[in-house]
Structure 1
Amino acid sequence: MSHSLVTMSYIVAAILFILSLSGLSNQETARKGNYYGMLGMAIAIIATTLGGSVIGSLNVYGILIGALLIGGTIGAIAALKVEMTQMPELVAIMHSLVGMAAVLVGYANFMDSTITIAGVEKTIHEMEIYIGILIGAVTFSGSVIAFGKLSEKISGKPMLLPGRHWFNLALLIAVIVLGYVFLQQVESGGNAILPLAIMTGIAIIFGIHMVMAIGGADMPVVISMLNSYSGWAAAATGFMLSNDLLIVTGALVGSSGAILSYIMCRAMNRHFLSVIAGGFGTAPGAEAAAIEGEVQPIDAEETAQLLQAAKNIMIIP
C-alpha cells in the first residue's frame, strides 16, 4: 500500500472517529456512532498493517494476525457477557489496557536499537517516550483501582492519607527530577533505564493514590478523567511512533474526556483541579436549599397529562 493511500485511509478513519464522537453524544445516534468508530478502527488497523509500518516475513504477519484474533475474541466475549449496569467497569478496565499499551510501547521504543536519530531530534524523542510512559502508567494503575471500586472488589470509601496533597506534590517533583536525570543519562550514554523504571513506579503509585482518595459516588467523573488520560497516552504513543492517526485520535479522546470531566465537575459543584490531583471524594458540596412553599398533591391521571404536554422532563433521583 502506497504512502498516499495510507494517508488517505488515515484521513477517512479520523473523520469516522469524529463522527463517532458526535454520534455518541446523543442517545438516538449512539448506535450509529458505534458503527462509525468500528469502521474507522478497522480502516486504521488495515492501513497500518499494510502500509509499511509492519516489516518482516510472513511469520511476523502471522503473529500479528494471531494477536488480533486473540484480542478481538477476548473483547467480544467480555462485551457480550457484561450487563449494561456493568459498562462503567468494562470501560475502566479497557482504559487500563490503553495505559499498559502506552507503557509497553514506550519501553519497546526506548530499547529499539534500529532508531538512528541524534541531537535535538533525539532529545525530543526521548521526552516523548518519558511523557508517554508517565501518562500510561498513571492511567493503568488508576483505571485498575477504578475497576475495583466499581465492581466492589475494593471499598468505595475514599482513602485519605494525612498530607496527601504534599505527597502528590513530592511525587510530581520526583517525576520532574527523574526526567532531567533520564535525559542526561541518554545524552551521556549512561544507565537511562533506571530513572525511567523508577519514574514508572512513581507514576503507578500516583495513579493508585489519586483514585483511592476519591469516593465511590464520584467515580463517573473519575472514569471520564481516566478516559481523557488514555487519550493523551495514545497521543504520546503516536508521537513516539510518528503515527499521525494515533496523535489525532488521542487528542480527540483526551480533549473530549477533559471537557466532559469539567462539565461533570461543574454540575456536581466540584473543583476540576481537585479531580486531577485526587482526593476530592469527601469535599463538601453545595448546601441544601431550604424547603419553601406547600406540597401540592397530584394524582396519576393529572401526572400523565402533564408529562404528555411537557416539552422537557428532568428526572432527579
Structure 2
Amino acid sequence: MTPTWAQLVYLACAVGFILALKGLAGPRTARAGNLIGAGAAVVAVAMPFLYLDLDHVPLILAAIAVGSLVGVLGAQRVQMTQMPQMVALFNGVGGGAAALVALMELEHMGAATPGFDLAATGFTVAVGAVSFAGSAITFAKLQELMTSRPVVFPGLPVLFGLALVAAVVLAVLVVRDPSVPLGVALALVGLLLGVLLVLPVGGADVPIVISLLNAFTGLTVAAGGYVLGNVVLLVAGTLVGASGTFLTLLMARAMGRSVTSILFGALRGGSTLGAGVASDRPVRSGGPEDVAIALGYAERVIVVPGYGLAVAQAQHTLREIVDLLAERGVRVDYAIHPVAGRMPGHMNVLLAEAQVPYEQLVEMGDINPEFRHTDVVLVVGANDVVNPAARTTPSAPIYGMPILDVDQARQVVFLKRSMRPGFAGIDNELLFDPRTTLLFGDAKESLAKLLAALKAL
C-alpha cells in the first residue's frame, strides 16, 4: 500500500499538473505554468525512491540520466521550425513507454485479475503502439525523411480493416487469457495500425494527426495509471488525452475539415497533398524601396506571419519594422491564423521571442473584419492560410478552411523565397492579383533591406 503521506504528495503533483495546464492557456502565465508542471513531474518521478524498495536502482538512475540529457540537448538545439517534429517524437516515446509498461504488467497478471484491469492493459498496449508508430511516421514526414504527400496503395483500406479486427480479437484474448506473447502480438498489430493510419495523411494535415496521437498517448497513460494504481499517471494522462482531443477538434475546425476526412481523405483524393511545383505565371514583383514607400505612407498595416518567417528566424527584424512604423503613426497589428506555422501557438511563441507585445497579436476572427479597411498587408512566409481558394475553389484540398481575408485589403505584399506553392501544394491566386507585389528572397535578408529602406525615407 502507498503510505498516506505519499498519496498526498502525489495528489499535490496532480494539482500541479492541472495548474500547469491552466497557466499554459495564456502567454503571461505560460512560463510559470511550465515551471509548475516540470516541478510536479520531477517530484512525482522522485517519489518511488522515497517509499518503495526498488530493484535495479542503478539501471533506473542511468535511464533517468540518459533521458534528462536527451531532453536538455533537445531543448537547446531544436529550432522553432522543428517544434512539431519534436512534439511528435516526445509523444511517440510516451506512447511506446506506456505500451512497454503494460506488457511487463501482463507477466504478473492471471485469471484472478479483474477483467477491467486486463481490458485497460490491452488498451494500453494496442493504443500505445499505435501512437508510437504513428508518431514516428509523422516525424519522418515533417522532417522530410520521407515524402510529405499521402502514401496510398491498393488494398490499404482492406489491410487497415483486417489489422483493426486483429487488434480487437487479440485484445479480447488478452482479457480472457493474459500472457506476454499475446501482448507482444497485440503490440505488433498496433504498430502496423499506427503506420497505416498516418501514411495516407499529407501536407498540412500532419500536425493535426500529431495532436490526435498525443490524445492517444494521454489515454494510454491514464489507463496505465489505473492499472498501476497511480493517481499522478491517471490525472496527467486524462489531462493530456482531454486537451489533445480538444486541440485536434479545434485544429480540424480551423482547417475547415472533419477528423475523418483528415485521416482518410487521401483514399478519395481529399487530403492536402504537400509541396507542389513552382508556377511560371507572371507576377508583379518589387524591391525593398517600393515596399518601404507603400508601408511608410500607409495608415493601417496588418502583418501576416507564417512558417517562412520561422524558417528564416526573421522575427526580430520584423519587430523592428513594426516598431518603426508605429513611431511614424502607422497602426500595425499581427494577424494570427490558428494553424499558422503548422501548429497552434507557433507564431505566438515565435513573436514572443522577439518581445512583440501580446496586444499586437490578433486572432483570425477578430482581425478579419479589419482587412477591408487596411492599406497594406505584409505577408511574411504564409501561403495556404491566406489562399482565397479555400473560399472559391471546391476542388481545392483546402476548400472550406477558414482563412485570413487578406484579399480584401487595398494592397498586399508577399515576402517569398520562390513561387513554390504552400504546404497544400496548390497555387495561391492572390499572388497573381494586380494589387499584389512580391518581394523575393530570404525573409531575413528581405526584411533587413526593407528596414534600411524605411529608415531612409
TM-score (norm 2): 0.59
Counterpart in the other structure of 1:55:
54
**Structure 2 residue 138 is the aligned partner of structure 1 residue 156:** no
Q: One-letter code of the match for 2:97?
A: A
Counterpart in the other structure of 1:307:
332
Residue pair 2:106, 2:183 contacting (<8 A) in 1 also = no
Equivalent residues in 2 for 1:98-177 (5 A)?
A: 98-112=94-108, 119=112, 121-177=113-169
Higher relative contact order (CA 8 A, sep 6+): 1
CA distance in 2, matches of 1:251, 1:274: 26
Deviation at 1:19, TM superposition (A): 1.6
Q: Give the 3 Å change call, closer, same or farther, for CA 61–284 of structure 1 in structure 2.
A: closer
Counterpart in the other structure of 1:279:
264
Deviation at 1:108, TM superposition (A): 1.1
Q: Give the 3 Å change call, closer, same or farther, for CA 284–96 of structure 1 in structure 2.
A: closer
Deviation at 1:82, TM superposition (A): 0.8
Residue pair 1:211, 1:279 contacting (<8 A) in 2 also = no
CA distance in 2, matches of 1:183, 1:312: 51
Residue pair 2:135, 2:213 contacting (<8 A) in 1 also = yes
Q: Give the 3 Å change call, closer, same or farther, for CA 27–280 of structure 1 in structure 2.
A: farther
CA distance in 2, matches of 1:75, 1:261: 25
Match of 2:203 among 211, 216, 225: 216
Deviation at 1:242, TM superposition (A): 1.4
Counterpart in the other structure of 2:425:
none
Q: Give the 3 Å change call, closer, same or farther, for CA 193–68 of structure 1 in structure 2.
A: closer
User: CA offsets, 1:224-275, max 9 Å, x none?
Assistant: 1111111111112112211111011100000100011011111212112344
Counterpart in the other structure of 1:11:
11
Deviation at 1:284, TM superposition (A): 6.5
CA RMSD for the aligned pairs?
2.7
Deviation at 1:2, TM superposition (A): 7.0
Which deviates more, 249-258 or 127-136?
A: 127-136
Deviation at 1:216, TM superposition (A): 2.4
Residue pair 2:102, 2:125 contacting (<8 A) in 1 also = yes
**Structure 2 residue 193 is the aligned partner of structure 1 residue 225:** no
Q: One-letter code of the match for 1:18?
A: I
Deviation at 1:311, TM superposition (A): 9.2
Which deviates more, 132-141 or 81-90?
A: 81-90
CA distance in 1, matches of 2:60, 2:361: 53
Deviation at 1:39, TM superposition (A): 0.8
Equivalent residues in 2 for 1:76-115 (5 A)?
A: 76-112=72-108
CA distance in 2, matches of 1:310, 1:29: 18
**Structure 2 residue 185 is the aligned partner of structure 1 residue 198:** yes
Residue pair 1:125, 1:240 contacting (<8 A) in 2 also = yes
User: CA offsets, 1:152-209, max 9 Å, x none?
Assistant: 00110001233544433322222122222333334xxxxx444332222211111011
**Structure 2 residue 259 is the aligned partner of structure 1 residue 267:** no
Q: One-letter code of the match for 1:239?
A: Y
Structure 2 residues without counterparts, runs of 5 or longer = 273-293, 302-329, 334-358, 368-384, 387-457
- Secondary structure of the structure 2 residue equivalent to 1:255: helix
Q: One-letter code of the match for 1:138?
A: V
Which structure dedicates a bigger proportion of its chain to helix?
1
TM-score (norm 1): 0.83
Q: Give the 3 Å change call, closer, same or farther, for CA 104–299 of structure 1 in structure 2.
A: closer
Residue pair 2:150, 2:200 contacting (<8 A) in 1 also = yes
Counterpart in the other structure of 1:29:
29
CA distance in 1, matches of 2:49, 2:71: 20
- Choose 1 or 2 for highest CA Rg: 2
Deviation at 1:118, TM superposition (A): 5.1
Q: Give the 3 Å change call, closer, same or farther, for CA 207–313 of structure 1 in structure 2.
A: closer
How many matched pairs?
291
User: CA offsets, 1:278-301, max 9 Å, x none?
Assistant: 33355279xxxxxxxxxxxx7543
- Secondary structure of the structure 2 residue equivalent to 1:28: coil
Counterpart in the other structure of 1:257:
244
Residue pair 1:102, 1:133 contacting (<8 A) in 2 also = yes
Residue pair 2:103, 2:184 contacting (<8 A) in 1 also = no
Which deviates more, 160-169 or 194-203?
A: 160-169
User: CA offsets, 1:6-55, max 9 Å, x none?
Assistant: 11111211111112112222233222221111111011112233232x53
Which 4+ runs in 1 deviate beyond 6 A? 308-311
Residue pair 1:23, 1:29 contacting (<8 A) in 2 also = yes
CA distance in 2, matches of 1:127, 1:284: 34
Residue pair 2:167, 2:186 contacting (<8 A) in 1 also = yes
Which structure dedicates a bigger proportion of its chain to strand?
2
Q: Give the 3 Å change call, closer, same or farther, for CA 303–63 of structure 1 in structure 2.
A: same
Counterpart in the other structure of 1:245:
232
CA distance in 2, matches of 1:24, 1:195: 40
CA distance in 2, matches of 1:43, 1:55: 17
Q: Give the 3 Å change call, closer, same or farther, for CA 110–303 of structure 1 in structure 2.
A: same
